[in-house]
Amino acid sequence: MEFYAQNGGKRPIRLSDSTRRFAYDSLGRKYGLDTLKTNAVILDGIEGFEDLSTIQKHDLAIQRIAAEAPIRICEDERISGAATLGLGIHHQIPATYDGHPVFSSISHLTIDFETVVKKGVNAIVKDAEASYEKYKGTEKEPFLKSCLCCLDAFKLWHRRYLEALKELPKYKDNYENLKRVPFEPASSFYEAVQSIWFTFAFVRLCGNWPGIGRIDWLFGDLLKADLKKGTITLDDAREILAHFFIKGCEWVNGKFIGSGDAQHYQNILLAGIDEDGNEVTNEVTYLVLDVLEELGISDFPTTVRVNSNTDEQLLRRVAEVMRQGGGILAVYNEDLILKALAMEGYAERDARRFANDGCWEVQIPGETNFCYVPFDSLYLLQMNTLDNYQTDAVYGDFEELYQAYIERLRAHIEAIVNGRLGCLESREEPLKWYPQIPCTVVSLFERGCIQKGASYHEGGPTYTVTSPHIGGLADTVNALYAIKKLVYEEKKVTLSELFEILRNNWEGAEALRAYALNRYVYYGNDNDEVDSIAVRLLSDFADICTSFSGRCGFRFPGGVSTFGRQLEWAPHRLAAPHGRKQGEVLAANASPTPNTDRAGATAIIRSYCKADLSKLATGAALDIRLLPSSVEGEDGIAALVALIRGFVALGGFFMQPDVVDAELLRMAQEHPEDYQTLSVRVSGWNARFVTLCKEWQDMVIAQNEHR
């Protein structure tokens, strides 16, 4: 049984045959297809249902889910619990009334697994009971009653699993390991893994898509203690962790065609420092890398926190796994991110705890209500500043044009801010929120919600963050640069003449188009002239965003992303000044416009790192594509390590390297049956390539062309 590597090699074998069979079944859709057999619990026929309050309907749905969701115990599993209702795969609470989902669900957060492991869910129960007594008779009582109701549902689901396992002598170890957790603190590594998985599975069973965060930090000390006592071996610990990852593939079904079937935001972080500034890297760090290398599971996109002091041994191990391909590993520059969070006003100890939001945007786990608002900066330039190329407006010089664009950008971000604050009925202290959709299950695992008597969506968490995300960055920079050169410096055309050419989609102006495409050295090639526009634009954008921070206690830090939206943006874009025709699919995240990067990965990183990325506290993602031949042998490992070191030294934020052969992707497109487990990095998530629709596949192939 072989697991596929992008570089064509065989993955190493460390895991037992039974674990590899389990992985084969899970990745082979066995459990995902089983999940589709039961879509949701049905709330029809409940007397008086329509007369219930919104939160009562929600609580009834959670109770029914806990009581009726199928119990699944997989063959030879080492940890138990499963999200077995298909509607959850579609970001809905899996309960329907009159044939329709009752509530949507929550994602883009990493919940508070630290409390679950170290204190146990019973500590949350005690907090909820105390808050219920405190706020009884106030407008906060219904939410706290909902908390207690959902905790009771969690207990019921836990009992159902214990009863099922007890009847199966083969799973005696699972039963014994699940008896105490997650309700009591984990006392061993095995219990800790089971505790987090069972909590995660319940939150996901209820339709939510949480991130998982720093599992080596959560598990490391317990594993060290167990190893010292001799109650576990590293080989057994690796097997247990492998089952955690394999269980995470329980929604793989091949049916979710579009942007892929592996994007449920269950991202993981490794390494970096803890709250006290001590390096986290431990045995669990390396065991996770072993599992990723051997099984190639793409459902847990994993990011390694790297700093200037990161050990060479860890970087080498990261490089060894990274070159297997599949985009499973990415890199955070911890030094830069801690600086960014300090500038945003976070306390040092909170900042050191940073994790991802379930994708790659940075947040404080278990304490942050997070959302991002993406927009197409090229569309904003074309349709607003340049008035759809229909205007007779005259910009006397490039500076005047640039300032006009910045004012449009400011107005757009202010509209985002006002739209977000529209959830408030009163913006005066104490804030009063309009009723939001119930989200109690998530609220249980976000610090502040129970204590304040306020849900995740109504000001409960410690931090409320809305991040405007600028998309199409490279396209906007290149368009501005091309205008600057063609119109204002070289005077090849007037602005009005250029507008007419662009309205006609470059028809009849092929010579000028070829000049714009090939003469200029665009963003991503370490050209200071064009990169200075990117530096300035990102700085101005970040300053505009942070100028709104603090309003009603909200934070509005900027970020850079597309998350694949360049595909949906393409039909709405006009021809662009840098030689691109109407409707082309262009740049992803903070990466260069396709086929404009001519100087290699190092030059891309240098262009990207010239901006002060510490001003973008939620992140700026850079995609780097590498040929398998470039990472072969010892020289390839050394090159990858050097690339990561350079990224950190130059001041990068977040880098997603992927080792990809575009020709291999074409073969997979033609013969999907032969490449079922082939994984690619799409954006903040990975996907099995064959589960992408053809539009997405074509986009990924185009982005991975090495010309």
Question: Which pLDDT value is given to residue 674?
Answer: 81
Cα angle vertex 269, ends 265, 275, to 5°? 125
* Residue predicted with more confidence, 375 or 686: 375
Other Cβ atoms closer than 10 A to 625 = 22
What's the pLDDT band for 1 if we cut at 50, 70, 90?
very low
What's the pLDDT band for 215 if we cut at 50, 70, 90?
very high
Average pLDDT along the chain: 94
Question: Which pLDDT value is given to residue 662?
Answer: 84
Task: List, as one string, the DSSP characters of 206-242.
Answer: TT-EEE-EEHHHHHHHHHHHHHHHTS--HHHHHHHHH
Nearest by Cα to 462 from 365, 367, 370, 352: 367
Question: Which pLDDT value is given to residue 99?
Answer: 95
**Mean pLDDT across 186-193:** 98
* Residue predicted with more confidence, 11 or 670: 670
Domain assignment of residue 325, yes or no: no
Enumerate the H helices of 70-135 as residue ranges.
Answer: 113-118, 121-135
Domain assignment of residue 375, yes or no: yes
* 220/224 Cα distance (integer angstroms): 6
Q: Which domain holds residue 579?
A: 368-599+608-616
Domain count, the chain: 1
Domain assignment of residue 11, yes or no: no
The distance from CA 26 to its chain's CA centroid, rounded to whole angstroms, is 22
| Percent of the chain with pLDDT strictly greater than 90 | 83
Q: Are 158 and 183 in contact (CB under 8 A)?
A: yes
pLDDT tens digits for range 518-559: 999 999 999 999 999 999 999 999 999 999 999 999 999 999
Cα separations (Å) of 102 from 54, 55, 407, 604?
Answer: 10, 11, 42, 46
**Mean pLDDT across 656-661:** 87
Q: Does residue 71 have a pLDDT over 80?
A: yes
Question: Which pLDDT value is given to residue 199?
Answer: 98
Q: Are 653 and 689 in contact (CB under 8 A)?
A: no
* 52/44 Cα distance (integer angstroms): 13
Q: Does residue 676 have a pLDDT over 80?
A: no
Cα angle vertex 686, ends 680, 687, to 5°? 70
* Residue predicted with more confidence, 627 or 442: 442
- Exposure of 422 by Cβ count < 10 A (0-12 exposed, 13-18 middle, 19+ buried)? exposed
Q: Does residue 10 have a pLDDT over 80?
A: no
Domain assignment of residue 33, yes or no: no
Question: Which pLDDT value is given to residue 264?
Answer: 84
Domain assignment of residue 67, yes or no: no
212-221, 410-419, 458-467, 620-629: range with lowest mean pLDDT: 620-629
Q: Does residue 390 have a pLDDT over 90?
A: no
Domain assignment of residue 388, yes or no: yes
pLDDT tens digits for range 232-274: 999 999 999 999 999 999 998 877 666 776 668 899 999 999 9
**Mean pLDDT across 605-615:** 98
Q: Does residue 9 have a pLDDT over 80?
A: no
Q: Does residue 7 have a pLDDT over 80?
A: no
Question: Which pLDDT value is given to residue 67?
Answer: 98
- Which amino acid would we find at residue 23? A
Q: Does residue 75 have a pLDDT over 90?
A: yes
pLDDT tens digits for range 126-173: 999 999 999 999 999 999 999 999 999 999 999 999 999 999 999 999
* 480/468 Cα distance (integer angstroms): 21
Domain assignment of residue 508, yes or no: yes
| 363 SS3 class | strand
* 56/284 Cα distance (integer angstroms): 42
Domain assignment of residue 559, yes or no: yes
Cα separations (Å) of 63 from 80, 122, 205, 334?
Answer: 20, 18, 12, 41
- Exposure of 230 by Cβ count < 10 A (0-12 exposed, 13-18 middle, 19+ buried)? exposed
Structure tokens at 392: 């007779």
| 411 SS3 class | helix
Question: Which pLDDT value is given to residue 2?
Answer: 52
**Mean pLDDT across 276-289:** 98
Q: Does residue 561 have a pLDDT over 60?
A: yes
DSSP 8-state secondary structure symbol assigned to residue 681: E
Structure tokens at 39: 């879509």
What's the pLDDT band for 638 if we cut at 50, 70, 90?
very high
Q: Does residue 31 have a pLDDT over 50?
A: yes
Question: Which pLDDT value is given to residue 529?
Answer: 98
Q: Are 586 and 570 in contact (CB under 8 A)?
A: yes
Question: Which pLDDT value is given to residue 687?
Answer: 78
Question: Which pLDDT value is given to residue 706?
Answer: 55
